[in-house]
Amino acid sequence: MKNIVLIAVDTLRPDHLGCYGYGRETSPVLDGLAQRGVVLDALWSASNFTAPAFTSLFTGLYPHQHGIFDFHSRAPRSIIHEQLIGAGYQTGAVVTFRFFQHLLAGIWGPVEAVTDTRSHDYAKDLPLAVSASACEWLDRRDASRPFALFLHYDGPHMPYRLPAEHAGLFDEVPDSAVPDEWRRALYPQEHEMLEKADASVFSLLKGVNWGRRRISPETLAWIRDKYDAAVRYNDDAVGRVLEHLERSGLAEETVICVVSDHGEAFLEHGEMGHGAMHLHEEVIRTVGILAGAGVDAGRVSMPLSHIDLWPALLDLGGVAGSDATPVPRLTDALGSDDRCTADAGPVFCQGKFRIAVRRGNLKYIRPYPSPTLSRYRRLRLWVKMLLNRRVRSECYNLDKDPSERVSLIGDAELWRPLAADLRAHLRSDGPSLGQAESADESERKRIEQEMKDLGYM
């Protein structure tokens, strides 16, 4: 059996890493990992925000199958986790924030949140705290058993918690050139975070996305600079774990996977952030790097989903699958002589407002408030889409139009097969996991307060 380390860097866009062609030196550690491993060029998140994305990653189910669309609910079990435990694995997790302890409670093993154990919500040392705790976990694990360790880094998620040595790495626009409300909300100093400045990240982004607030080109460039600095900071922190694996002699027996839960929009399609109405590539295309034991170097351009990752990791780890495990499409691609042209079928992404499907280079997006939401919430989402003029379906050829500038929705011959894929997908059921569990009232209030403090609400 091989060990497995799954590293998730929150809100990380692949096109801001060197191994995906970015010009700035934001990711020397991940670039080195990519050179000796496999880079997934067309990996989609199963959703455009954290809760359903991570639930899909750990259950191998799409959002319409597991039904988790908020931080208060959680899937009661995971076929993937059960297979790891059945194979004798020791599982563990070190995460940034406490809400993961609720979200992953039924689908993973023990979860340490460093905001509880060695830091706090607004600290600038959170990536380093995750790495330090991960190294300690590796040292005290049961050495007689294989292990599966999950690490979550807050990454370049707004607000940017940056120490001085990283904060100005890529500055082309000085902090003084940015309106103070933006600077305080997106790049607060620690005392400002603790004071809970009036201009929260969420309220500012909501104003932009609803057309009530504008961002100057200088401010947008400044935001990108800070984002890139946060990418480099987290890259350095991930490097500490990889170095520890090497020093402890574990690297040769360990499969490493680096992924992001979703990306981030910088007004490419009129929206900032993630989790809202858009399902464009800047939000739903994610990082995917596989390296270590049993992984040959290369690239895979075949469209894949997060639900493909754990089946491949189980295979690479030597864990026998079951009838309930998702089809190991990524494993087939890794073993193929032609990783670039293989097409294993459609992949899907579902947010609260819309749903998308991709087959080959064609992509189709349509409004689809999730039926797992209440009738009242679905009606509210339709109203929001109407007010924002986002009720029209879209179709793109990502080979010819990777920036999704020209919708081909007028050509029905292109999108009708994708619409058929979508209808078949929504009729499909995954393995029965039982009824989703909800937090009790006290837990719900705690999670909501944490979400507000972190800018999610």
Cα Rg of the chain (Å, integer):
21
- pLDDT for 27 equals 98
What would the pLDDT profile of 41-84 be if each residue is shown by its tens digit? 999 999 999 999 999 999 999 999 998 988 888 898 999 999 99
Mean pLDDT computed over 18-27: 97
Q: Is the pLDDT of residue 383 over 50?
A: yes
**Does some domain include residue 397?**
no
Q: How many helical (H) and strand (E) elements, i.e. helices and strands, does the chain have? A: 18, 19
Residue 203 falls within a domain, yes or no? yes
Q: Does 188 reside within a domain?
A: yes
| Other CB atoms within 10 Å distance of the CB of residue 200 | 20
Predicted pLDDT of residue 191: 59
pLDDT, residue 197, reads: 44
Which stretch of 82-96, 326-340, 353-367, 379-393 has the lowest confidence by average pLDDT? 326-340
Mean pLDDT estimate for the chain: 89
Asked if pLDDT for residue 94 goes beyond 60, the answer is yes
Task: Residue 251: name the closest of 2, 1, 32 by CA.
Answer: 2
User: Looking at the domain assignment, is residue 383 inside a domain?
Assistant: no
The token pair at 300 is 């895979």
pLDDT digits (tens, 9 = 90+) for 171-210: 999 999 999 889 888 888 765 554 554 457 878 888 888 8
pLDDT for res 428: 84
Closest C-alpha to 256, from 188, 194, 317, 191: 317
**Cα–Cα distance for residue pair 112/122, rounded to 1 Å:** 17
Calpha distance 405→393 (Å, rounded): 14
Average pLDDT over residues 107-130: 91
Q: At what angle do helices 309-317 and 50-59 cross, to 10 degrees?
A: 40
What is the residue range of 25's domain? 3-345+432-454
DSSP SS3 for 256: strand
CATH number at residue 307: 3.40.720.10
| pLDDT at residue number 226 | 96
Q: Give a yes or no: residue 142 inside a domain.
A: yes
For the chain, the domain total comes to 1
* DSSP string over 208-222: HHTTS----HHHHHH
**Helix segments in 171-278, DSSP class H:** 180-186, 190-195, 201-209, 217-247
Cβ neighbours around 57 below 10 Å, total: 26
Residue 233 included in any domain = yes
pLDDT at 445 > cutoff 70: yes
pLDDT in tens, 218-254: 999 999 999 999 999 999 999 999 999 999 999 999 9
Signed CA dihedral, 5, 9, 12, 17: sign only: negative
Categorize the per-residue pLDDT at 335 as very low, low, confident or very high, splitting at 50, 70 and 90. Answer: low
Determine, yes or no, domain membership for 94.
yes
Q: pLDDT tier at 444 (50, 70, 90 boundaries)?
A: confident
pLDDT > 60? residue 6? yes
Please, how many CA atoms are within 13 Å of residue 438, restricted to the half-sphere of its CB? 8
Contact 96, 115 (CB under 8 A): yes
